[in-house]
Amino acid sequence: MTVQSRSPLISPSILSADFARLGEEVRAIDEAGCDWIHVDVMDGHYVPNLTIGPAVVKALRPHSEKPFDVHLMVSPVDNWIEPFTGAGADIITIHPEAGAHVHRTIQAIRSAGCKAGISLNPGTPAKMLDYLIEEIDLVLVMSVNPGFGGQSFITSQLKKIEAVRRMIDKGGHEVLIEVDGGVNADTARQCVDAGADVLVAGSATFEGGAERYGENIAALRGERA
């Protein structure tokens, strides 16, 4: 197991924010010290839920200069690359199962000026990255099945984080490992010890209201607010 000594980047998922006041919520987590803003996009087809589209991302863009970390849980995915890059996404992560030609989709994301990520569902093996790792900037390990917030962490995914970490380190790739699903102050440390660089946290960030966001983010980093 690889044990990381540095603090992870924190990317709060606005899926757990108050949707009636999203702009204020984005400003609040920005001011509380988050590193990225995580945007979960669901289409009711690839996953059994509907969330937000590019118009909402565009509306939120003026509320923070932090990188917008957009996770597309949509299929087919290719038609949505340009709308989200145009709306202000900085990072776009896709699922390899969501399109016919994942390599071409990654090229389209990078050609549009965004960083590109691949997301691995709990049942998707790390080996899926064998011929993609040199083309991407981010690997998102899903520690729950995608589609809903508030799920419990699937501990078997820690082995996958370790496997991806070995792959990155062995090849000398400049690729970040992000983890999403059931991340809280306890599971955060397990993820970082396994090799994660970035943690997505929805419920654990937004719990308690804006006055708690700074404390919550610090706890995810293993720090005191």
Determine whether 180 is an active site residue.
yes
Which residue in 35, 69, 78, 180 is the catalytic one? 180
Residue 13 assigned ligand-binding role: yes
Closest CA to 198 of 37, 18, 28: 37
Q: Is 137 part of any known ligand binding site? A: no
45 annotated as belonging to a binding site for a ligand: no
Residue 46 φ/ψ region, left for φ over 0, alpha for ψ in the -120 to 50 degree band, beta for the rest: alpha
Please tell me whether 5 is known to bind a ligand.
no
Known catalytic membership, residue 197: no
Residue 222 among known ligand-binding residues: no
| Peptide bond between residue 48 and the one before it cis (omega within 30 degrees of 0) | no
Ligand-binding site membership of 148 (annotated): yes
Has 203 been labeled as part of a binding site?
Answer: yes
71 labeled binding residue: yes
Distance CA 134, CA 48 (A): 31
Q: Is 40 annotated as a binding residue?
A: yes
**Distance from C-alpha of 163 to C-alpha of 137, rounded to nearest angstrom:** 17
DSSP 115-143: EEEEEE-TTS-GGGGTTTGGG-SEEEEES
Of 35, 40, 69, 78, which is the active-site residue? 40
Among 86, 64, 84, 58, which residue's Cα sits nearest to residue 12?
64
- Which segments of 124-202 does DSSP mark as H helices, in order? 157-171, 185-194
Is 173 annotated as a binding-site member? no
What residues are annotated to the active site? 40, 180
Binding site residues, as ranges? 13, 38, 40, 71, 147-150, 180-182, 202-203
Binding site residues for a divalent metal cation, as ranges? 38, 40, 71, 180
Binding site residues for substrate, as ranges? 13, 71, 147-150, 180-182, 202-203
